Structures are given as C-alpha cells and as structure tokens.
Amino acid sequence: MTEKDILNLIKKDPWMMKVLKIAEQQNLKGWVIGAGFVRNKVWDYLHGFTKKEVDTPDIDLVYFDPEGNTPEKDEILSEKLKKETGINWEIINEAFAHTWNHRPPYSSTEDALSKWTETATGIGVRLKNDKLILMAPHGISDLVKLIVRPSPNFPGYLPLVKKRVKEKQWLEKWPKLKLNYPK
C-alpha cells in the first residue's frame, strides 16, 4: 500500500471527504486531520472491514499558528462545529500543545505530528484546492504494515502507548496488529 493508495481510500469515502471539506472551510494554518481518522481507515481496509464511517470517537483537527487561537478559542470552535455537524471535533493549535507534554515548542504541524504517541497515529491528511495531501513525518511503513510502535520523538512514554492499546482495544478491533515494543 502506497501514499497514493491511502489517499484514494480517503477520496472514495464520501463521509471523510465531507469532514475534510468542513475542516478546509475553517481556514486554519497548516491544518491536517490526523490520528484515528487516517490510521483507523487504513487498518480497517487492511483487515477487510467495510464500514460506512471511520470508527473514530472524534475528529482530531490540528493546525499550527503561533498567532492563532488559544486553547480556549479552539474549544469554542470545536463545540460550534459539533453543534453544526453532529460530529465530535477536537481542534488543537499545535503551537500551544507542547506544554501538555512538557516539551520544547513545536515548529510546525508536521513537527507536532512527529511527536504523537505512535508512528501510525502521527499521520494526517488535508484538503487543499480539491487535492488531498498526506503528512506522515515517520512515513507510512508502520501504518500499512500494521505495526504499533512508539514514536521515536515521544521518549519515555511507552506506558502511555501500552495504555492506549489496551483502553482503545486495538488488538480486539484489529487482530492483525503487531506490537513493536517491549511487553
């Protein structure tokens, strides 16, 4: 599976394209929708599942704008879009998100994605002028090989990765996943 294959999967999904068009209309700098939006779609496909909508509890719309919204304003925008669309949005300006993990400031959306918990989670997609663009700072290899690996830029957080795998029931949902970390 290639980047083009991933983008074609998304392009053929009317619900995903609708969500991406809504995100594009927000005019946020350097935005992508990441995490389960892309990851779960690919994992479902590779497991042979066909679902009407991607199995994700929320839409992680992230962007990078040091002059942009505060976390409070992002929360207001998230709630506004939830009321308008019926979809649970989580909108985050990554210019401020580094503080949650006690890290140095991120330099871009891609830099922030590279520091998300797993390599297969730190992947995003955006729509620009009707063209889909994939952002994958660690590449797509782990994603398409069904490998769960902690991000090399997320040091010391292996317990959180293990907790996420267990609480989100990834192995029950996607039994072909391979855990690539010490048990």
Supply the pLDDT for residue 156. Answer: 79
Q: For position 68, what pLDDT does the model report?
A: 85
pLDDT tens for 12-39 read 999 999 999 999 999 999 999 999 999 9
The maximal CA–CA distance of the chain, rounded, in angstroms, is 44
pTM of the model: 0.93
Length of the chain: 183
Quote the pLDDT of residue 52: 64
CB of 9 closer than 8 Å to CB of 49: no
Q: Kindly provide the b/e burial profile for residues 126-157, where b requires at least 16 CB atoms within 10 angstroms of the residue's own CB.
A: bbeeeebebbbbbebebbbebbbbbbebbeeb
- CA-to-CA distance for 33 and 15, rounded, in angstroms? 13
Per-residue pLDDT for 5 more than 90? yes
Please report, rounded to a whole number, the percentage of residues in the chain having pLDDT higher than 70: 97
The token pair at 79 is: 């709630």
State how far the Cα of 32 lies from the Cα of 111, in Å rounded to an integer: 12
Write out the residue range of the structural domain in which residue 133 sits: 3-179
Instruction: Work out how many domains the chain is built from and give that number.
Output: 1
Positive/negative CA dihedral, 126, 105, 95, 158? positive
Across the chain, what does the average pLDDT equal?
93
Evaluate if residue 155 carries a pLDDT over 90. no
Please tell me whether residue 129 adopts helix, strand or coil conformation: coil
What was the pLDDT predicted at 93? 96
**CA nearest 113: which of 58, 53, 38, 171?**
38
- Tell me: the pLDDT tens digits for 37-95? 999 999 999 999 987 666 677 899 999 999 988 889 999 999 999 999 999 999 999 99
Give the mean model confidence (pLDDT) for residues 143-160: 91
CA–CA dist 70, 76 (Å, integer): 10
What integer pLDDT is reported at residue 56 of this predicted model? 77
CATH code of 134's domain = 3.30.460.10
Asked if 35 and 56 touch (Cβ cutoff 8 Å), the reply is yes
Side-chain-side CA neighbours of 172 within 13 Å: the count stands at 6
Own/partner long-range contacts of 91-95 (Cβ < 8 Å, ≥24 apart): 91/26, 91/28, 91/61, 91/62, 91/63, 92/60, 92/61, 92/62, 92/63, 93/28, 93/62, 93/63, 93/64, 93/65, 93/68, 93/69, 94/62, 94/63, 94/64, 95/64, 95/65, 95/66, 95/68
